[in-house]
Amino acid sequence: MWKWLHPYAKADRAYQLCNTLLPYFAVITVVCMLVGWVWGLAYAPADYQQKDSYRIIFIHVPSAILSMGAYSSMAIAAVIALVWQLRNAELAVIAIAPVGACVTAIALITGAAWGKPMWGAWWVWDARLTSELILLFLYLGVLSLYHAFEDKKAAGRAASILAIVGVINLPIIHFSVEWWNTLHQGATITKFDTKAIDSSMFWPLMVNIVAFAGFVGTVTLMRLKNEILQREKHRPWVRQLLNRG
Amino acid sequence: MQFDSFSDFIAMGGYGFYVWLSFGTCALILLGILVSSLNDTKRIMASVQQQADREARIQQAKQEQQL
């Protein structure tokens, strides 16, 4: 039943799969990003308490969700890399990490720019903020660990192990606003039964979440292609790519 | 449209600096990683091309020697 998966363990098949998926991700990203930003900035109503400053939510929440989503995907790839020894999974770990780090940085920066007008401080050593900062360091740790090894097989294994250990941080980030007294406001959209957000703000937020997910997917695919090419540099199938232009 | 004029839109009800700071840095970071990934592809393919050219030259030199 799972036999169809096997060929994708081969580098050239995985490369082709990335190529096939890439345009779909790119189109979704461009469309949703345009719609989401214009809708969020110009058409969504102002918040009754936070006025127009709340519009930062349209990039803050998506980037925060994706910072954790990207980490989960990276950890899943790391488990696959360690258990089934698939090199493509190792490459996926390294392809996701920089994208995840960027998204986490966006979440932190937009959070600071929202915190200043609302709380009066760019940064506080609050549970949510601190655990998100640790997430950024985990991404950077995975990357630097990978690049610290000359032997890429050992590098992939070490980076994968760190990625898996770091998963402990995800529930801490998620529940930090419930476990500790915090300045950070509670969840906006996880309470599906009692929606904490009006639908006139909910839908543009959804579009922006899809846009960020699309962006992470697009750039991860691009970077995975690069990692595969880099590793397979001397193989004939990479040579053939040159002739195709 | 929530804003009456373009200057209102830029002002964001007094929160313009924070809103545009967020959206600006966000756009910069997203573009940054996108461009750097595209450059990586170019760099890798250039080095593959270089290697292919080199091997072609070696091949040619060998043939010339044999003649």
Give chain A's length: 245
Q: Which of B4, B47, B48, B54 to mutate to test the interface with A (most CBs of A within 10 A)?
A: B48
Task: Look at residue B44 and tell me if it is in a domain.
Answer: yes
Task: Look at residue B18 and tell me if it is in a domain.
Answer: yes
CB A44, CB A236: distance < 8 Å = no
Q: Which domain holds residue B31?
A: 6-66
Residue B29 has pLDDT above 60, yes or no: yes
Task: Look at residue B1 and tell me if it is in a domain.
Answer: no
For the stretch A39-50, pLDDT in tens is 988 888 888 777
Q: How far apart are CA A50 and CA A143, in angstroms?
A: 38
pLDDT of residue A195: 63
Task: Look at residue B39 and tell me if it is in a domain.
Answer: yes
For the stretch A173-192, pLDDT in tens is 988 888 887 778 777 765 55
Give chain B's length: 67
Task: Look at residue B10 and tell me if it is in a domain.
Answer: yes
Half-sphere exposure (CA, 13 Å, Cβ side) for A117? 21
**8 Å CB contact of B34 and A219:** yes
For residue A47, the cross-strand partners are A51
CB A62, CB A104: distance < 8 Å = no
**8 Å CB contact of B19 and A99:** no
Nearest chain A residue to B39 by CA distance is A226
Number of structural domains chain B divides into:
1
Nearest chain A residue to B6 by CA distance is A42
Token pair for residue A125?
């050593």
Q: In chain A, what residues touch B52 (CB-CB under 8 Å)?
A: 239, 242
For the stretch A82-91, pLDDT in tens is 999 888 999 9
Half-sphere exposure (CA, 13 Å, Cβ side) for A163? 38
A 117-176 → B contacts, CB under 8 A:
117
**8 Å CB contact of A46 and B13:** yes
Task: Look at residue B37 and tell me if it is in a domain.
Answer: yes
pLDDT of residue A17: 92
Half-sphere exposure (CA, 13 Å, Cβ side) for A213? 12
pLDDT of residue A22: 94
Task: Look at residue B19 and tell me if it is in a domain.
Answer: yes
pLDDT of residue A190: 59
Task: Look at residue B11 and tell me if it is in a domain.
Answer: yes
